[in-house]
Structure 1
Amino acid sequence: MPLDKITFNNLPDAVQLIYESQKRLLDLFAEQQPTLDSETIYSIEEASKFLHLKKPTLYSYVNQKKIPFHKRGGRLYFFRSDLISWIKSANEKPFDPAETARQMLVKRKKGGLK
């Protein structure tokens, strides 16, 4: 029931109409959201923006196979879920000071550090 004018007496009805309208809008919005089944695929440009990395850095990561990617027809593609997993995996290795010190000593013996 549309209201032409909101008064104190019909305020509960007006609030109910606003609530129902908002619920319908939220339902429509939820229908428009991609589902987990529809995977978002990024180009190199989109992936660099998503990761906040410059394209040369991203190409370097691809070349070193440090980042998950797919190549088709000479073009690079990145799945959003793979990139998120890659970001999260960076925190999976705990810092081991003893191992880091050992690696530094090995480099120093080889002349890598001065």
Structure 2
Amino acid sequence: MENPFEIIIEKLNGIEKRMHSIEIKLNGLENSNYLMDTKQVSEYLKLAVPTIYDKVHKREIPHHKIASKLYFDKKEIDNWILKAKILTKIEINMLAEDYINNNKI
């Protein structure tokens, strides 16, 4: 019968190798300029391709255009999403209080 501790150690080593592999892949994506085409950004944002074209036409989404081909930088798209945050009532009230306190007559 195999030692249960050896089985646990073997499983943990496998998990550690997989996690290391995932970290390498994630760091590679973070540190590189990952470009997506229209179809890829559509899938990434879960929006229809015509919606992406409409946002490009209205200049609502960051993009690059070379020889009528559209490219989207993943970092720019992620930042664009993060900037579209809707404030909570508490955050709005805090901003209002700060404004009132800083702009007294």
Q: Do the structures match in fold with TM over 0.5?
A: yes
Aligned to 1:18: 11
Partner of 2:36: 42
Unaligned runs of 5+ in 2: 93-105
Counterpart residue number, 1:65? 59
More helix, by proportion: 2
| Paired positions, count | 89
The 3 A distance-change label for structure 1 pair 17 and 79 is same
Q: Secondary structure of the residue that 1:78 maps to in structure 2? A: strand
TM-score normalised by length of structure 1 = 0.63
Distance 1:93 1:29 in 2: 33
Match of 2:71 among 67, 77, 80: 77
Q: Which has the larger radius of gyration?
A: 1
